[in-house]
Amino acid sequence: MVCGKSQLGTLGLFCANFSSFRGGFEPCRQSWCAGCYTPLQGDKFHVAVRKDEGGFEWCKRGDELRYLVARDGDHLQCPFQCDLCVFRTLRGEDPGRNPSDRILLKCIRRINLDALWAREPGTVQSTRTSLVRGIALCATVMMKPPYPVLGPFHVSDTQGYGVAVQMVLASTKAGRHADYLQFDTMRQYRTAFANVYRASVVGSSKTMAWIDDKGLTKRYTTVATQSEWFDRFTQGCKKRMGGIYKPDLALTSALMVAYLKAIEVRIDEAKEEMEGHLWTSVGAYSVLCFCASLRGNEGFLLDLYGLRLYLNEGRESQCLKPHVVAPLLGRFKNEVGEHYHLVLLAPVTRSGLRMRDWLEALVKVRAQEGRIRGPAFCDEEGRIAYSGIYESRFFEILTEIQGVSPDLIPASVDVAEDYGIGRSFRRGSDSEAIARGVDSSDIDAMNRWRIVERARGRRPVFSSMREHYADVRIMGLDRSLRYSSVL
């Protein structure tokens, strides 16, 4: 499998390895001219192409062969083992004529090309040119060039080739938005391998840790998916595949007003009590997520007991700064254990979103169901509600609005594809706050679930919820009202 055009002096592509084969070591030392190292026949791995919305492909001069061919000197800036060496490492034998062997060889060629293309052509050419000039300079003073040998590699898969094969094989499966799997989804195989390795006898017995000057623990790892080669592979693979980024569209304040009015109509027209209760829950959940800038899963953490306890706090007749308290109970990102997060919001926003009225209505319907504790948004058994039920009604209302108010939702928008309760409320809330001049520090504070400045990264522990409320009201009320009141 050595290229007939290959000349080692051109620094094309060179494998300086010794493969473990049939109980012994067999030298490889295969070399190719770079132009011959291309995907194998039948390669169907996705290569991203720049297109406009009309489908026209944009192609910059020189990009025609990106990810499809090696470059002279590629092996000088990326650890390289040829296809045969990698195959022998993974399978312990030479490739035969089995279909599975051919598939594995295609995968190996693909992951090698991805790793090589982690660096741009200019970087590869610069490394190669500097090496040639450096060797020539050493020759003038009869000095041995200082460059280390490029092989052989360890017999075992210390670079993570096996996981890389899993990832590119998975990429051929259909995804949600395309006929191939997105790179961010493929990464789960790397994460799974790293977790299992650290839990294994081998991984846990090779742990080395040290403490930096800030008291933070650092760990040395021997996991293969942290190798230099695997890092290059993931960079090249991600660049080759590109990505389809489709964030949920944001909801505007005007759209939220129309949305909640439509829900009120559903509540009035409900023929069954439980149907009306469900629509009330959807309305309260939606206005909470929007006004508090919550992700979809965070809205379901509203605690009924805390909500009832603090429902009368912050009424206009009782304080100078009217507000409503939304107690969230859960384990938030980067926190340990379950904690209350008391979010203080404006009772009514500038656009007329009635936060207090919706939460009071929610407490009322839960009381009619005989519930005073547990999740405020719950199913018939009292457990946290299933998000799919709320999202289906979310789509139902938005589709109705699109039909009667194309100025709010254009006809070109696919509601079920472009919106979602996971991010639409939060993105809309943040966008409205920015458009209305809310300071970035207030936006950051609204989206932060810890008093970082005071706790210094540690969650403050309060002896009671009342103490927590007093602290939040002093430190965060003004910021919360500046944010939520403008929506």
- Please report which confidence band the pLDDT of residue 209 belongs to, taking 50, 70 and 90 as the band edges: low
* Predicted local confidence at residue 453, as pLDDT: 34
> CA torsion angle for 439, 442, 446, 447 (degrees, to 10)?
60
Specify whether 203 is located in the same domain as 80: yes
- Lowest average pLDDT, out of 279-283, 365-369, 412-416, goes to 412-416
Q: Which whole number is the average pLDDT over 61-67? A: 80
Instruction: Judge if 157 and 226 occupy the same domain.
Output: yes
77 within a domain of the structure (yes/no) = yes
pLDDT at 470: 60
**Rounded mean pLDDT of 60-74?**
84
For residues 205 and 261, membership in a common domain is answered with no
Q: How far apart are CA 371 and CA 238, in angstroms?
A: 49
Are residues 292 and 226 both part of a single domain?
Answer: no
Write down the pLDDT at residue 393: 94
Whether residue 247 lies inside any domain: the answer is: no
Higher-confidence residue of 27 and 249: namely: 249
Q: Answer yes or no: do 388 and 471 share one domain.
A: yes
Looking at 241, 261, 283, the residue that finishes a domain is: 241
Domain contains 248: no
The upper half-sphere exposure of residue 190, i.e. CA atoms within 13 Å in the direction of its Cβ, equals 19
Residues 108 and 140 placed together within one structural domain of the fold: yes
Please state the pTM of the whole predicted model.
Answer: 0.68
Strands, DSSP E only, in 160-264? 208-211, 217-220
Question: Of the given ranges (3-12, 32-41, 171-180), which has the lowest mean pLDDT?
Answer: 3-12
Residue 7: CA count within 13 A, CB half-sphere? 3
Q: Is the pLDDT of residue 181 over 70?
A: yes
* CATH number assigned to the domain comprising residue 452: 1.10.443.10
CA 139, chain centre distance (Å):
51
Q: Are residues 259 and 224 in the same domain?
A: no
Task: Please indicate, yes or no, whether residues 304 and 388 belong to a single structural domain of this protein.
Answer: yes
Please write the tens of the pLDDT for every residue from 414-434.
898 889 998 999 999 999 989
Residue 2 lies in a domain: no
Query: At residue 100, does pLDDT exceed 80?
Result: yes
pLDDT over 50 at 452, yes or no: no
Res 454: pLDDT:
39
For the chain, the domain total comes to: 2
How far is C-alpha 343 from the geometric centre of its chain's CA atoms?
Answer: 26
Task: Give the whole-angstrom CA distance, residue 204 versus residue 199.
Answer: 6
Residue 258 in contact with residue 85, Cβ under 8 Å? no
Inside any domain, residue 1: no
Question: Which has the higher per-residue pLDDT, 487 or 102?
Answer: 102
Report the alpha-carbon distance of residue 36 to residue 246 in Å, rounded.
Answer: 38
The residue range of the domain holding 365 is 253-484
Shared domain for 170 and 62, answered yes or no, is yes
Share of the chain above pLDDT 90, in %: 40
Residues 459, 325 within the same domain? yes
* Higher-confidence position of 55 and 188: 188
Residues 191 and 337 in one domain: no
φ/ψ (deg, to 5) at 399 = -65, -40
pLDDT per residue as tens digits for the range 286-329: 999 999 999 888 899 999 998 998 888 878 766 778 889 898 88
How much of the chain exceeds pLDDT 70, in percent? 80
> Is 332 in contact with 449 (CB distance < 8 Å)?
yes
Above 60 in pLDDT, residue 481?
yes
Average pLDDT, the chain: 82
Helix (H) or strand (E) holding 480: helix 465-484
Query: What's the half-sphere exposure (Cβ side, CA atoms, 13 Å) at 330?
Result: 18
Residue 404 has pLDDT above 90, yes or no: yes
> Is the pLDDT at 1 greater than 80, yes or no?
no
The per-residue pLDDT for 241 is 86
Report which of 178, 40, 173 is spatially closest to residue 113, judged by C-alpha positions: 40
**Residue 24 confidence (pLDDT):** 52
3-state SS assignment for residue 57: strand
Given this model, what pLDDT does residue 440 score? 81
- Domain end residue (candidates: 208, 241, 274): 241
Measuring CA to CA, how many Å separate 192 from each of 25, 205, 371? Answer: 32, 19, 41
